[in-house]
Structure 1
Amino acid sequence: MFPIVLSLPLLLGHTVPQEPQAGPYSLVFLYTGLSRPSKGLPRFQATAFLNDQAFFRYDSDGGRAEPVGLWAQIEGMEDWEKESQLQRAREEIFLETLKDIMDYYKDSQGSHTFQGMFGCELGSNRSSGAFWRYAYDGRDFIEFNTEIPAWVPLDPAAKDTKKKWEAERVYVQRAKAYLEEECPRLLRRHLNYSRSHLDRQAPPTVSITSHVVPRRNSTLKCLASDFYPQTISLHWSRAGKVCKSRSGDALPSGNGTYQSWVTVKVPPEDRAPYFCHIEHSGLSQPLAVQWNERQKAKTKVTLGAQPQ
């Protein structure tokens, strides 16, 4: 018994040329196992991410690893049959570990969740970080420390897991090698097919809507959509001063881009112009979109990506 990622020979492919790159780039795997999945949910599912973009998924219902999004159209990036075999082996060990934890706590009732996350990061073509950790029912369970190296229990039941995973010292060394050598090598290989997509700069499209209630504060909402990468800054200003506002996180739009918003309350007697300010790496300079009293009948203003 040893950590799930080491259950089959790793699919490292051919040697990858050492090309200059900026980064950072990351390769992350997220696993979730359920003791009693509700209807419509698989008992086990895995998703692999390049940076913040999911590039393949696997679940126990289908039993196959399949590329998603842009990667479904890329030939030669991965041997999906071998990847499916690997994920099926990881599924078996992952769910066995979940059962061991439940046996430790003598808790076979109810639904329990076991999650794992591991991966690595590259910056300037060099490994700049790696992690490997697990959680049980939302609590930290065990994590790998590459400095020791060893599995570090974070839960009483994890002491038994540590014994199993460290039964032979070679498994600890292989876990360290995976995080520090093999994962970065696999990431470099995937970047041969994905770098241009991950490096793209998609500027936001901006729309403004107003919600007016007679004799009450009206609400202006500035929505930025279809932008990539995820980081963006939005705020409202009036008379050159930043307004108190409410904003939402940048969330996936479902097409590989993101959207975010910011709202501001405007008193009914206020006739001053308001500006929505947007900063994003896809813009050559910050964008300021004006909304004023004369425009309130026009409830939506859609702009392209060019600064004004």
Structure 2
Amino acid sequence: MARCDFWSHCFPARTEAESQARPGDMGPRARRTLPLLLLLLLLVRTVVPQGRLPRSHSLRYLFMGASELDLGLPLFEALGYVDDQLFVSYNHESRRAEARAPWVQGRTSSQLWLQLSQSLKGWDHMFTVDFWTIMDNHNHSKESHTLQVMLGCEVQADNSTRGFWRYGYDGQDHLEFCPDTLDWRAAEPEAWPTKLEWEVHQIRAKQNKVYLQRDCPQQLRQLLELGRGILDQQVPPWVKVTRRVTSAVTTLRCRALNFYPKNISMRWLKDSQPLDAKVEPQDVLPSGDGTYQGWLALAVPPGEEQRHTCQVGHPGLDQPLMATWAPSSPSALVIGVVSGTVVCILVVFTGVLLRTLRKKHASRGVARDYVLADCQ
């Protein structure tokens, strides 16, 4: 059975550096959930425009839990993200929403936060009921199992919206809600009993649609207003192309570093024309300091490296960046060799000088001790 592949809009994993550097660290429980989070991570890929990339925004909630606590997870735990910024967490034990971003921490008494807390408590109950329904339809009662739910919405640059509500069971695709048709798409045959059971309750389907198409976008806009100046910042990438040569293939790698937000586009051109050939897909990962890094690789014939150009588009750029591989100049290589040789000579000379001085100092000390002893 295929692993999760419908989680096309994912939550960024927090690196250890981020966990230590950011206020409101979620502690040991959140770190224990990292393997489950990594299971859900699939990276967003975008289409390259011919100018500045439009900026879209998203609100996403990730729910996860285990039927038994031996997996290190509580029965229910929730993480909420605006774009790629973690802003709230909730678990079944505390039954309390906790702010996880500085731009939210001072607003926990607002009406928006109270509504959010009530929603999370409601989802806590819904998650438990859904979990046992799915387990019962699988005839699972004793073994430990996991359930993951991802729901939320996106508001595009043209103000259009799109909602998503997906379930994953034991790390595999399970069910996806379709708001336009008010039904559920089964990702595997085992999901059909739950699909049929849930589709009988049209009231729930209508409530889901209202949340995805009205309530979620409204809450997202309120959160964006709350985080103005932080969530709308744009840091353009620094781009570099490197080459790796092996006996079998020559590979060019285009790296985009230190950019924010996460959405970026990368593609290869040959002689200024887009390549139709398939290339290794790009990966976009957190750098640990709040920015992101991505890369795109391409195998090329030896000697044709400089015919290929990497084109990078990002919301922080007015025009796409173009980068090509540049071979190291012979003069730079000679300077590097000479510099290395000089450094080695200096190190050896310094070592010999220090050893000589130590020997002289030691011999003087011995002579002085001998004379003092002889005077007595």
Question: Normalising by the residue count of structure 2, what TM-score does the alignment of the two structures yield?
Answer: 0.56
**Residue 144 of structure 2 aligns to which amino acid in structure 1?**
S
Query: 2:283 maps to what in 1?
Result: 249
Identity %: 31
Query: For residues 30 and 231 of structure 1, what CA distance do their matches in structure 2 show?
Result: 23
Which of 287, 291, 305 is residue 322 of structure 2 equivalent to?
287
**Residue 292 of structure 1 aligns to which amino acid in structure 2?**
P
Deviation at 1:128, TM superposition (A): 2.8
Deviation at 1:205, TM superposition (A): 1.9
Change (3 A) 1:181 1:103: same
Query: For residues 125 and 274 of structure 1, what CA distance do their matches in structure 2 show?
Result: 37
Deviation at 1:140, TM superposition (A): 3.1
**Residue 28 of structure 1 aligns to which amino acid in structure 2?**
R
1:203 to 2:236 alignment: yes
How many residue pairs are counted as aligned between the two chains? Answer: 269
Matched ranges for 1:173-252 at <5 A: 173-209=206-242, 211=244, 219-229=251-261, 230-235=263-268, 246-252=280-286
Range with greater deviation from structure 2 (195-204 or 89-98):
195-204
**Residue 67 of structure 1 aligns to which amino acid in structure 2?**
A
Query: 1:56 maps to what in 2?
Result: 88
Query: 2:60 maps to what in 1?
Result: 28
**Residue 322 of structure 2 aligns to which amino acid in structure 1?**
L
Query: For residues 126 and 143 of structure 2, what CA distance do their matches in structure 1 show?
Result: 21
Range with greater deviation from structure 2 (67-76 or 276-285):
67-76
Which of 35, 40, 43 is residue 75 of structure 2 equivalent to?
43
Structure 1: tracts of 5 or more residues without a match: 1-21, 300-308
1:132 to 2:165 alignment: yes
Which of 294, 297, 303 is residue 260 of structure 1 equivalent to?
294
**Residue 158 of structure 1 aligns to which amino acid in structure 2?**
K
Matched ranges for 1:109-124 at <5 A: 109-123=142-156
Query: For residues 324 and 225 of structure 2, what CA distance do their matches in structure 1 show?
Result: 39
Change (3 A) 1:135 1:291: same
Once the two structures are superposed, residues 46-89 of structure 1 have per-residue CA deviations (whole angstroms, 9 ceiling, x without a partner) of 22232344332333466543333564566467765764454244
Q: Is the 8 Å Cα contact of residues 120 and 127 (structure 1) preserved in structure 2?
A: no
Matched ranges for 1:63-74 at <5 A: 63-69=95-101, 71=103
Q: Is the 8 Å Cα contact of residues 153 and 162 (structure 1) preserved in structure 2?
A: no
Change (3 A) 1:277 1:180: closer
Query: For residues 287 and 107 of structure 1, what CA distance do their matches in structure 2 show?
Result: 54
Once the two structures are superposed, residues 134-175 of structure 1 have per-residue CA deviations (whole angstroms, 9 ceiling, x without a partner) of 34342333625355xx45474213333445x55xx4x55544
Deviation at 1:130, TM superposition (A): 2.6
Deviation at 1:192, TM superposition (A): 1.0
Query: For residues 274 and 283 of structure 1, what CA distance do their matches in structure 2 show?
Result: 24
Judging by fraction of residues, say which structure has more strand.
1
Question: Normalising by the residue count of structure 1, what TM-score does the alignment of the two structures yield?
Answer: 0.66
Matched ranges for 1:145-160 at <5 A: 145-146=179-180, 150-152=182-184, 154=186, 155-160=192-197
Judging by fraction of residues, say which structure has more helix.
2
Deviation at 1:186, TM superposition (A): 1.4
Larger Rg: 2
Q: Helix, strand or coil: the match of 1:90?
A: helix
Q: Is the 8 Å Cα contact of residues 44 and 59 (structure 1) preserved in structure 2?
A: yes
Query: 2:35 maps to what in 1?
Result: none
Q: Is the 8 Å Cα contact of residues 97 and 117 (structure 2) preserved in structure 1?
A: yes
Instruction: Tell me which of the two structures has the higher relative contact order, counting C-alpha pairs closer than 8 angstroms and 6 or more residues apart.
Output: 2
